[in-house]
Amino acid sequence: MYDENGRQYLDCINNVAHVGHCHPDVVNAANEQNQLLNTNSRYLHDNIVDYARRLSKTLPEKLCTFYFLNSGSEANDLALRLARQHTKHTDVIVLDHAYHGHLTSLIDISPYKFRNLEGQKDWVHVAPIPDTYRGIYREDHKDLVTAYANEVKEIIEQAHKKGRKIAAFFVESLPSVAGQIIPPAGYFQKVAEHVHKAGGVFVADEIQVGFGRVGKHFWAFQLQGEDLVPDIITMGKPIGNGHPVACVATTKEIAESFAATGVEYFNTFGGNPVSCAIGLAVLDVIEKEHLQAHAMQVGNFLMELLNQQKVKHPIIGNVRGAGLFIGVDLIKDQEKRTPATEEAEYLITRLKKEYILLSTDGPGRNVLKFKPPMCFSVQDAKLVVDAMDKILTDMEKEAACEPVGDLES
């Protein structure tokens, strides 16, 4: 990225510009379609059909009905409506620290937001985040999957005792705001089993992590195993490389339940010709430039470099990730794993002075988050890690001479 003075910055966090800022193929697709036709979605256009067909090829066959919208928040709001209409239930289970969007309905199911606002609604149930590094069950537990899934089972049982019924389990396939969390494989399957038994549906929020970012698979939920098929998937952010477009994919059965109300779903700009042309161009670029494989290669290289830094710098407690979705957990001490919040803020501030854009996440704001555009290279990875190494070394020298609290001086 470049500022108004032409200074170049390395962007390590912008997962919205999925295939790269202002990718010429995406820009050209938008420009060409804009010159030809853009109109509202009451007028059927080939692009929306072509785009739905292309997306369907990346998903399990069961997910065959698509709704197009303009933002991830709109997508998650619709997913909530679909779940409630299909199940005839109201309550929702979410993970702690989750964030699903800025609409009123989504603030209500986002602990990251509602804890600082009006609090938790009685129809919202919060399950522990399956964080194997600093969660309630950690890496030394003999069966993390069952332990965390049983927490959801217990929530369902308690809800039933109060006469409440579960409509959906809503989850980011890889929780991001919570600190770049990688749930243990098999956890979603066990949770889905409990949720389905209770008459609810499983909603996978892929807004931050879909479209090849995790490298090994096109969708992050697929990291859990081939036997997991969510009932609803939501997409946003990277889907349009910065253009406002989003999508909900679901089953024919859920779509029919939604249509049975007799009230049509209409979205003026959702799936308009320009948005779909852009969506198609993004898919083309991912395929043409082999960005999914690239994410795997570069992500593995970056993880290797960061783990080398973990050995060198005690402040790095944990490095976790998949493809180009990586978290670096900074700690004050190895035993208690106390979040190194001030140190993390100091580090990203220093990096910005080196023209490197990195940010923090997690409840303690101590997890360095890597979610760069997918064109991020091995050279970029080496540049940012070398800069981190130098800054952390300086911090250690300063800490040896003065208290940690004086770092910002």
Ordered alpha helix ranges (H), 198-272:
252-259
Number of domains in the chain: 2
Q: Does residue 127 contact residue 155 with C-beta atoms inside 8 Å?
A: yes
pLDDT for the residue numbered 407: 52
In a domain, 301, yes or no: yes
Claim to verify: residue 341 and residue 272 sit in the same structural domain: no
Q: What is the largest CA-CA distance in the chain?
A: 71
Q: Which spans in 69-176 are helix H?
A: 72-87, 104-107, 111-114, 144-161
In this structure, are residues 354 and 381 in contact, taking their beta carbons and an 8 Å threshold?
Answer: no
Same domain as 325, residue 267 = no
Domain final residue pick, 288, 305, 320: 288
Q: Both 167 and 70 in a single domain?
A: yes
**Per-block mean pLDDT, blocks of 10 residues, the chain (409 long):** 94 96 97 94 91 97 97 97 97 96 94 89 97 96 97 98 98 96 97 98 97 98 96 96 96 96 89 97 98 98 98 97 98 95 98 97 97 98 98 91 57
Q: How far apart are CA 409 and CA 401, in angstroms?
A: 13
Q: Is residue 1 part of a domain?
A: no
Residues 284 and 294 in one domain: no
Paired residues of 170 in beta bridges = 94, 203
Same structural domain for residues 271 and 299?
A: no
Asked whether the beta carbons of 383 and 350 are under 8 A apart, the reply is no
Q: Residue 293: its pLDDT value, please?
A: 98
Same domain, 259 and 353: no
270 and 294 belong to one structural domain: no
Give percent of the chain with pLDDT exceeding 90: 92
| Residue whose pair of structure tokens reads 């509602």 in the numeric block | 114
CATH of the domain at 159: 3.40.640.10
- CA 364 to chain CA centroid, Å, is 18
Residue 4 lies in a domain: no
Q: How far apart are CA 264 and CA 139, in angstroms?
A: 48
**Residue (of 210, 295, 195, 291) closest to 248 by Cα position:** 210
Q: Examine the fold and report which residue of 261, 288, 315 is the final residue of a domain before the chain moves on.
A: 288
pLDDT of the residue at 262: 86
pLDDT value, residue 243 = 96
Tell me: do 73 and 206 sit in the same domain: yes
Give me the pLDDT at residue 409, please: 43
What is the domain-level CATH number for residue 305?
A: 3.90.1150.10
pTM exceeds cut of 0.85: yes
Instruction: Match 């005792």 to its residue by tokens.
Output: 161
Residue 304 lies in a domain: yes
Q: Are residues 194 and 312 in the same domain?
A: no
Alpha helices in 144-265 (DSSP H): 144-161, 187-197, 252-259
Domain annotation covers residue 320: yes
Q: How far apart are CA 39 and CA 32, in angstroms?
A: 14
Exposed e or buried b for every residue in 41-71, given b needs 16+ CB within 10 A? beeebebbeebbeebeebbbeebebbbbbbb
Q: Which of 254, 272, 288 is at the close of a domain?
A: 288
- Residue 170 is assigned to a structural domain of this protein: yes
The CB-side HSE value for 184 (13 A sphere, CA atoms) comes to 22
For residues 240 and 282, what is the distance between their CA atoms, to the nearest angstrom? 7
Q: Same domain for 304 and 352? A: yes
Domain extent at residue 352: 10-18+290-396
Question: Is residue 5 assigned to a domain?
Answer: no
Residues 83 and 255: their CA atoms lie apart, in Å, by: 10
On whether both 265 and 385 belong to a single domain, the answer is no
Helix segments in 109-240, DSSP class H: 111-114, 144-161, 187-197
156 with 257, same domain: the answer is yes
Strand, coil or helix: what is 51?
helix
The reported pLDDT for the residue numbered 405 is 53
Residue 80 lies in a domain: yes
Q: How does pLDDT run across 371-402, given as a tens digit for each residue?
A: 999 999 999 999 999 999 999 999 999 888 87
